[in-house]
Structure 1
Amino acid sequence: MDEFTLRNVNLQQVQNQIRHRTDGLSSSTLVLRRGQSFTILMNYDGRPFDPLKEKLVFRIVLAGPLFVEVPVSMSGQPSPSQWSAILERSAPAPNASRTMSVSLFSPASSSVGVYTLHLRVETRLSVKTHLLGQFTLLCNPWCQADSVFLPSEDLRDECIRNDIGLLFKGSPGSIVSRPWSFDQYEKGILDICMKLLQMSPQYQSDMRKDLLNRNNPVYIGRVISAMVNCQDDKGVLMGNWSGNYNDGVNPSNWSGSADILRTWSETQFRPVKYGQCWVFAAVMCTVMRALGIPTRVVTNFNSAHDTNGNMVIEEFYSEMGKKLSIGRDSIWNFHVWVESWMKRPDLGQGYDGWQVLDPTPQEQSAGIYRCGPAAVKAIYEQKVNAPYDVPFVYAEVNADVHSIIMRDGKILATDVDKKRVGALICTKRPGSMLMQDITSEYKTEMMDRSSRMFSADVRGGEGANGRVAPQGIAVSLQLLKAPVVGENIIFNVTITNREAIPKLLRKHVNAQNKEYNRNPTGTFWEAHDDLEIGPRKTVTVKHEIIFKEYMQKEFMEDYLVNLAVVIEDMKSQERLLASEEFNICSPALNIQIQNENSVIINMQQVATVTFTNPFNVAVSGELTIAGSGLLEEKVQMRVTIQPRETMRSPVRFIPMMTGAKMLHASLVLMNLSTVLRGFKTINVQEA
């Protein structure tokens, strides 16, 4: 009878990837999750397989000397702690060739990486080795034994499988929802994420140690946090907060991760120019989701950057209300990081769950620009000695703010605010395009949020951000409506005399442009006047800043203003400060789908982007429409819209994937130096 001869092997990519929930991930290899079995089919010729005469041994190679040999057993259960291979069935096929089905199992503690699969066939007469192919092994949040196991199906869908999201920017009282396409299913993106691990200094300096450590999501998180920025390595993104992006891309122009990751890969791993905090975080979210680690993007409004670790941020103002650039500490209007879900056995009981990871290069952690994973529970419990970087993140959400009025180097007045930092911490709500407030997961003392958030008709970053001086003067600032690009900024200054004697006061109001991550630049508007206020009286002064006075020459998406008023008591020389930081919103684009409730895979659909120009001047710019799984390539067109004219731009698209997808549009205006955005989520159904 003929000798047993292996003819071919089928890795059953489609079936295995559906079972492993990796369907849709694009890779040159089979993509699997650890802690779960996968099945391969082997066709052979000759006599039936006889385990007494043939021995089958799989060799699973991670790299070089790191491999495991797994003999095929005839029966039994896989061991949870080691690789195993079990013969499922052996049956003749109709065409006279024979088929064997073998189930291979990887332990839940396996390293993430690209493996090579070999099969050795040992018979009485020969030993033959066959190369079967490669597979990429990811973490498995569906497997209870995995250190990234997440019990909630809703959170697994959101934080692993969802490829669309919202990034929240602006200020606590006027939140801007920014659409982002994570793009983990885009062609080649998973392979680039694996390459990112391979380009890390840890892998380059000690490949064996790095690969063995890759079984631990804590280690992976630290590597990725460092590799998303390029400060210490051949990382993905270069940060730039200068306002000059001529030799790269303005961070505000990115709308998805695939363009960034592909650019990095195609330029032989040169850093992509440029990123800011939300871009760093969104790219890290893509990489972590692709690797199978549940991850969500989080925004901290009024985020402290405490450079000296004293948990105090000092802000300095002139007696005229101008904010001064003194000291290295700062408060970012918003700062964006990610949280990843994992066990923390290194911290003891009670610290599993969400961990802060921050790839924006702010400060070094163990000599490298990275941050985390810092257990959210440890931040909440103020365990500032817990690794990694808990003190830094704790200060970002809890630092005290000391506002100091100065003249000629002398302190005229000081005020302490314990509630401003970490005013709101939020993320995208699972399964919807709404915001979820998670402040209470970080902070024990919940502030009176009503004073921070806009009411329906009156908007002001901290509502009436009032201060009371020792001598009984109170002052507050209040925006009368939400500022919108193209419109005037209207606000009230309200002063109350709480004493029984009249007072002569001097009022200084100052407005400065600012970027979200630093102190403001020069004053663009100011007002100074004297006023007399009677005993126990309140005076309200209305101010209006016209559009031309705050309009920027350079394009800015995060159009932020620092507004401050200093009230000086002419008799006592005492001074009182009230300040407000707010963003000026851009009008939104509208996207309508022709047959919104019957969008079917592989069938052409039409979307129309509309916008009515509210400005008194014609606007022109470039309109870009993109959508992962909907459009193969971005659609770009030049548009000019007259005052009060409505633009209607139809776009044809053919959905390539089922599920929730997002079409997003941006219009970068040239003559108004702003960007307009809109997005529409689309539920693509099976045919």
Structure 2
Amino acid sequence: MAEALTLENCDLDCGTNNRNHHTGDVGCSKLVVRRGQAFDIKLQFSPRGYEEGVDQLTLFAQTGPCPSEDFGTEAKMKVSDSLEEGDWSAAISSVDGDNLVLSIISPPDARIGKYVLSLETSTGTEENSCNLGEFFLLFNPWCPEDAVYMENEAERTEYVVTQHGIIFQGTKDSITTVPWNFGQFEDYILEASLEVLDKNPKFAEDSTTDCTQRNDPVYISRVVSAMVNCNDDSGILYGRWDNCYDDGVSPMSWIGSVDILRRWRKFGCQAVRYGQCWVFAAVACSVLRCLGIPARVISNYNSAHDTNSNLVIEQYLDDQGKKQKKTRDMIWNFHCWVEAWMNRLDLPEGYDGWQVVDPTPQEKSDGVYCCGPAPVLAVKEGDLAINYDVPFVFAEVNADVVYYVEQKDGTVRQTKYTSQVGQKISTKAVGNDGREDITHNYKYPEGSEDERRVFDKANQQVVVPRVQREDAPHAIDMKIKVSEKMDKGSDFDVFALIRNNTAEDRECRLQFCARPTSYTGEVGPECGKKDLPSFSLEANAEKSVPLRILYEKYGSSLTQDNMIKVVALLNDKTTKDILLAIRDIHVKNPDIKVRVLGEPKQQNKMVAEISMKNPLSEPLSGCSFTVEGAGLTEGLVVKDLDCSVESGQDAKVRVDLMPQLSGLRKLAVDFESDHLKGVKGYKNVIIAPLPK
């Protein structure tokens, strides 16, 4: 009888397998593979090698706290001559003396997660078993049978593999860019992403059922949506919008997800302070990409928050044009969420593709602060009954907005109706830092037959209040125009352009006011005001009324959003009509300049010279630059300046870089000081690989 087969060594060949499975940026310290695709391991036996017909080999792959074949969390694979695709399977790839190479494949609907791999050998009556190690199994957008399969290679690269990106902020008239380090392959991010699943309350309630559902991207994305905020659970981020962030990190200061996820995991899954919508979305995007689900961050301008689900956003103003506290519905200058790519096997045919997943805690869904996945196509078609949370997303991009002005005598009049919600819906373009406008994915063109058809369909599913549509032309038109150059630290003008479309002169009163505002619409004290009690408009003529906005007035009360809300209220004394014009303007931060010195190649020292000119009339103190870039830096690099920066002078630092990864990399930069915060910049660097 042959002596027992004893394993001497097991090589999971992490480097080769990871490269083949598009997880090479993880490195060689752990095996990270994708479901539905084979990977090889190398076994060495002693004192003899494997003998066909004598030795029987069986592999076991187990995940979760209670592995079970019945629940899909345990697989038993008898090693054979060939792989059987569609199921867990193992086969001999080659035999060379004492060395044996095995190929292993998982089904394309396997449960994702951390697996323990073990081997059982049988030689006659002799049996041995041993632990071969651990591996991580992810979704596979390269596998046609996987529910997250994405056909286009450039899109797979952008939405799964690329570790950096751009998030769009500002206003629809002044779109700004924020660099972001998603860092899904950075150290400990995979472990943190899986811990997100294990800290999910559904796992605590029933770990067996929870792990069983981890083959479904719909289930996973819904869990991630709930777990990125901490409202109901041990979630990652604590949301705050009141401009008081001294006991944490301002949402505007973050430039990446890596530090957030590492902090959350390091400190026992205590919520990281603080996040706002783009931070929630970016962290969710990192987790989804890390787990293998294609994802991208979306910015929706003039985004509605419909608190009573009637598809109408009602805004109440006083006779000075200031929003009243009884207003609960909101219009955000922009709102960010995530789109995740997947098949919707839980829905009727036709709703596959991009799905809205929104982790910002706004309204509850099935009793939990989460949102989605909502098929983008269902939003576009007004199919409000489709799971999940389509009505809420539909309102964000389609709700009508009605403004009411309350007079001093207590009477309330509708003064403005607009359908300008859901504008310039944007995401980073594939393969470059440009902006791709995807508004057409969410809605048909305004005024088209399809747009009316969809809105009529939606109206049949909700109770919509009666509002006065503005179809007839106005006797008087008014809009707000801004200056070309509105830099922080400078004074500038805004203008009320008023046109009398009638053949007779009109006497009016104009109230023109500016207040700093947050991107969610909360306003601060006045920073500019003009009241013209008696204002003449000549027949068929246009008049421009300027309003000077001074830095000495807005500087101290400007929030880190750098936005000012300008409101013009015109009372026509002849008709008693009230005309309203509103515009949010974005005050531009200074540019950050980044210059990289040295040859850009792997494991070659480089230096980044970073500078920014102080545009303010006062000196800046407490200055610091924070730098981050997957494959370029070891986590965050913080450089403090030991002296103040005078007006017109440059803040400068040098940062050493040692690139570990080749290809296109993005160095993201944030600047903070006492008077200037959340200033962003970045530099793209192409790193050459090491010679083979």
TM-score, L = length of structure 1: 0.92
Shift of 1:287: 0.4
Partner of residue 88 from structure 1, selected from 86, 93, 100: 93
Change in CA separation of 1:499 and 1:71 when aligned onto 2, cut-off 3 Å: closer
Change in CA separation of 1:48 and 1:279 when aligned onto 2, cut-off 3 Å: closer
Contact 1:251 1:276 in 2 (8 A): yes
Distance 2:326 2:247 in 1: 30
Change in CA separation of 1:659 and 1:471 when aligned onto 2, cut-off 3 Å: closer
Q: Counterparts in 2 of 1:337-416, with a 5 A limit?
A: 337-408=337-408, 409-416=410-417
1:208 is aligned with what amino acid? T
Distance 1:88 1:70 in 2: 18
Contact 1:27 1:191 in 2 (8 A): no
Secondary structure of 1:372's aligned partner: coil
Distance 2:611 2:204 in 1: 50
Contact 1:508 1:565 in 2 (8 A): yes
Shift of 1:587: 1.2
Contact 1:9 1:42 in 2 (8 A): yes
Distance 1:14 1:503 in 2: 78
Q: Counterparts in 2 of 1:645-656, with a 5 A limit?
A: 645-656=649-660
Find out whether 1:537 has 2:507 as its counterpart: no
- Equivalent position of 1:502 in the other structure: 505
Contact 2:62 2:116 in 1 (8 A): yes
Change in CA separation of 1:185 and 1:3 when aligned onto 2, cut-off 3 Å: closer
Change in CA separation of 1:400 and 1:610 when aligned onto 2, cut-off 3 Å: same
1:87 is aligned with what amino acid? I
2:600 is aligned with what amino acid? V
2:85 is aligned with what amino acid? S
Contact 2:183 2:630 in 1 (8 A): yes
Change in CA separation of 1:122 and 1:497 when aligned onto 2, cut-off 3 Å: same
- Equivalent position of 2:193 in the other structure: 193
Change in CA separation of 1:447 and 1:270 when aligned onto 2, cut-off 3 Å: farther
Distance 2:398 2:305 in 1: 11
- Equivalent position of 1:637 in the other structure: 640
Partner of residue 511 from structure 1, selected from 502, 511, 514: 514
Distance 1:675 1:235 in 2: 24
Where does structure 1 lack aligned partners over 5 or more consecutive residues? 93-97, 449-466
1:614 is aligned with what amino acid? P
Find out whether 1:493 has 2:496 as its counterpart: yes
2:95 is aligned with what amino acid? S
Distance 2:49 2:624 in 1: 67
Shift of 1:446: 4.7
Distance 1:510 1:232 in 2: 40
Contact 1:85 1:103 in 2 (8 A): yes
Q: Counterparts in 2 of 1:424-443, with a 5 A limit?
A: 424-443=424-443
Distance 1:259 1:154 in 2: 28
Find out whether 1:589 has 2:595 as its counterpart: no
Where does structure 2 lack aligned partners over 5 or more consecutive residues? 449-469
Secondary structure of 2:678's aligned partner: strand
Find out whether 1:572 has 2:575 as its counterpart: yes
- Equivalent position of 2:460 in the other structure: none
1:5 is aligned with what amino acid? T
State which drifts further: 536-545 or 62-71. 62-71
CA displacement 1:421-441 (0-9 Å, x = unmatched): 111100001111111111111
Change in CA separation of 1:482 and 1:417 when aligned onto 2, cut-off 3 Å: farther
Contact 2:351 2:378 in 1 (8 A): yes
- Equivalent position of 1:66 in the other structure: 68
Shift of 1:46: 4.3
Contact 2:527 2:549 in 1 (8 A): no
Q: Counterparts in 2 of 1:84-483, with a 5 A limit?
A: 84-92=89-97, 98-408=98-408, 409-418=410-419, 420-446=420-446, 472-483=475-486
- Equivalent position of 2:611 in the other structure: 610
Distance 2:336 2:474 in 1: 40
Contact 2:315 2:403 in 1 (8 A): yes
Contact 1:26 1:190 in 2 (8 A): no
Shift of 1:280: 0.4
Distance 2:553 2:22 in 1: 54
Shift of 1:109: 0.4
State which drifts further: 377-386 or 311-320. 311-320
Shift of 1:278: 0.6
- Equivalent position of 1:75 in the other structure: 81
TM-score, L = length of structure 2: 0.92
Find out whether 1:686 has 2:689 as its counterpart: yes
Distance 2:611 2:335 in 1: 31
Distance 2:125 2:40 in 1: 28
Distance 1:468 1:507 in 2: 24
**What percentage of residue pairs aligned between the two structures are identical?**
35
- Equivalent position of 1:454 in the other structure: none
1:547 is aligned with what amino acid? Y
Contact 1:322 1:523 in 2 (8 A): no
Q: Counterparts in 2 of 1:31-70, with a 5 A limit?
A: 31-63=32-64, 64-67=66-69, 68-70=74-76
State which drifts further: 334-343 or 475-484. 475-484
Secondary structure of 1:289's aligned partner: helix
Secondary structure of 1:566's aligned partner: strand
Distance 1:175 1:447 in 2: 25
1:66 is aligned with what amino acid? S
1:386 is aligned with what amino acid? I
Distance 1:503 1:178 in 2: 46
Contact 2:167 2:299 in 1 (8 A): yes
Distance 2:286 2:668 in 1: 18
Change in CA separation of 1:49 and 1:532 when aligned onto 2, cut-off 3 Å: closer
Aligned residues: 658
Contact 2:15 2:28 in 1 (8 A): no
State which drifts further: 420-429 or 46-55. 46-55
Contact 1:25 1:190 in 2 (8 A): no
Shift of 1:271: 0.8
Partner of residue 553 from structure 2, selected from 540, 549, 555: 549
Change in CA separation of 1:6 and 1:564 when aligned onto 2, cut-off 3 Å: same
Shift of 1:471: 6.8
1:61 is aligned with what amino acid? Q
Shift of 1:183: 1.5
Contact 1:493 1:541 in 2 (8 A): yes
Contact 2:83 2:103 in 1 (8 A): no
Contact 1:609 1:648 in 2 (8 A): yes
Secondary structure of 1:674's aligned partner: coil
Shift of 1:378: 0.8
- Equivalent position of 2:7 in the other structure: 6
Distance 1:146 1:421 in 2: 36
Contact 1:330 1:519 in 2 (8 A): no
Distance 2:447 2:175 in 1: 18
Query: How large is the Cα RMSD of the aligned pairs?
Result: 2.0
- Equivalent position of 1:623 in the other structure: 625
- Equivalent position of 2:459 in the other structure: none
Distance 2:297 2:577 in 1: 44
Secondary structure of 2:222's aligned partner: helix
Contact 1:277 1:360 in 2 (8 A): yes
Change in CA separation of 1:479 and 1:224 when aligned onto 2, cut-off 3 Å: same
2:554 is aligned with what amino acid? Y
Change in CA separation of 1:257 and 1:69 when aligned onto 2, cut-off 3 Å: closer
State which drifts further: 643-652 or 577-586. 643-652
Shift of 1:642: 2.5
Secondary structure of 2:346's aligned partner: helix
CA displacement 1:622-646 (0-9 Å, x = unmatched): 2223323212250312153333333
Change in CA separation of 1:259 and 1:27 when aligned onto 2, cut-off 3 Å: farther
Contact 1:27 1:187 in 2 (8 A): no
Contact 2:172 2:424 in 1 (8 A): yes
Shift of 1:77: 3.7
Distance 1:257 1:679 in 2: 16
Secondary structure of 1:168's aligned partner: strand
